[in-house]
Chain A
């Protein structure tokens, strides 16, 4: 039965060909370090799923943010788990994406013909850091507040345009409801959109060009 449905769909969608291209493609002999990209993707999916679930209860205003997070953590069934996965997954993702980048550097895998893959990867690293920075404010506790005071001040250090950057990031002179709302908007709409599009380009290139082998003595 399942085979029949599979055949019926395959005749119309050619999904087996797609499957083969994505999952059964030929790769050189590699080692465990080559799983860091897949690990990043896994963590990204974890962040998306748990993040969507968190928005069901989270409210991004100064008078509700902290209480709604406490509500999720202490009152909602499995809320501690969903939030915990999002919290620790976030840290893990920054670490794993960074290690993924180091592997590419040490193997020289960014060279021709993979420059664009590397470039999109750099964007993805920046997006990941952006996620970390904007997400850190959302619980609206002391740590979040002061970390963002400091973080936005750092963003304001460049000469000439620094003050302007600080104002735009905070949405005003002070860290306020405006800041929280825009961090939330960037965290759940802007960055996910960029992440999704750039990840698709990144994966397309990985599949299209193929991955590089472990460099040997001659390389």
Chain B
């Protein structure tokens, strides 16, 4: 250690400016990132049992449409949102509840009764009455809700 590193007034001030500048940038940058991505990380509210309606409404072997509204808070706005669920039963005792959201890219499917298919108009996705993909681009069957029957009323777990 013959030669000591000389810290001149100029180099010290230069270092100080860059350090302070860096600190300010960090102090601004980190909150900015949190600010931008924060609301995106907010998970939606907890799931709960939602009453669809009486089981007597349902026909055997054909998906029956049930609609209900839920309150959804997005940002500072509380919206009523209508949700559609298709319920299918073969024997009146065992039910499956399917979402009407196409598993391809999220358009809404509808039941076409004379062809016995669910059809998605966006990219011609076709599902059979149990939600299994028949043709088109959907990668997996229609999503199903957990379902229960209490006092002849259908409930699904959603939210």
Contact = CB atoms under 8 A, between A and B. Distances in A.
Interface of A: 49, 53, 56-57, 64, 67-68, 70-71, 75-79, 81-82
A16 B63 CA distance: 73
Contacts of A70: 76
A168 B75 CA distance: 33
A77 B38 contact: yes
Contacts of B32: 49, 53, 78, 82
Interface residues of B, number: 11
B20 to A, nearest CB: 11
B34 interface: yes
14 contacts: A49-B32, A56-B35, A57-B39, A57-B75, A64-B76, A64-B77, A67-B76, A67-B77, A71-B76, A78-B32, A78-B34, A79-B35, A81-B31, A82-B31
Given A49-B28, A81-B31, A82-B32, A76 B76 contact: no
B1 interface: no
Contact of A77 (B35, B75, B76): B35
Given A49-B28, A78-B38, 6 more contacts: A56-B35, A57-B75, A67-B77, A70-B76, A78-B35, A82-B35
Interface string B19-38: 00000000010011011101
B122 to A, nearest CB: 29
The 10 A-B residue pairs whose C-beta atoms are closest, nearest first, are A78-B31, A77-B38, A71-B76, A67-B76, A77-B34, A78-B35, A78-B34, A81-B31, A76-B38, A82-B35
Nearest to B41: A77
A76 B38 CA distance: 6
A35 to B, nearest CB: 12
Contacts of A77: 31, 34-35, 38
A interface majority secondary structure: helix
B76 A53 contact: no
A68 B35 contact: no
A58 to B, nearest CB: 11
A53 B34 CA distance: 11
Given A67-B76, A68-B76, A70-B76, A75 B39 contact: yes
Residue of A56, A64, A68, A76 most packed against chain B (CB within 10 A): A76
Contacts of B77: 64, 67
A151 to B, nearest CB: 27
A56 B76 contact: no
Nearest to B75: A71
Nearest to A82: B35
Contacts of A75: 39, 75-76
B38 to A, nearest CB: 4
Interface string B31-55: 1101110110000000000000000
Contacts of A64: 76-77
A177 to B, nearest CB: 17
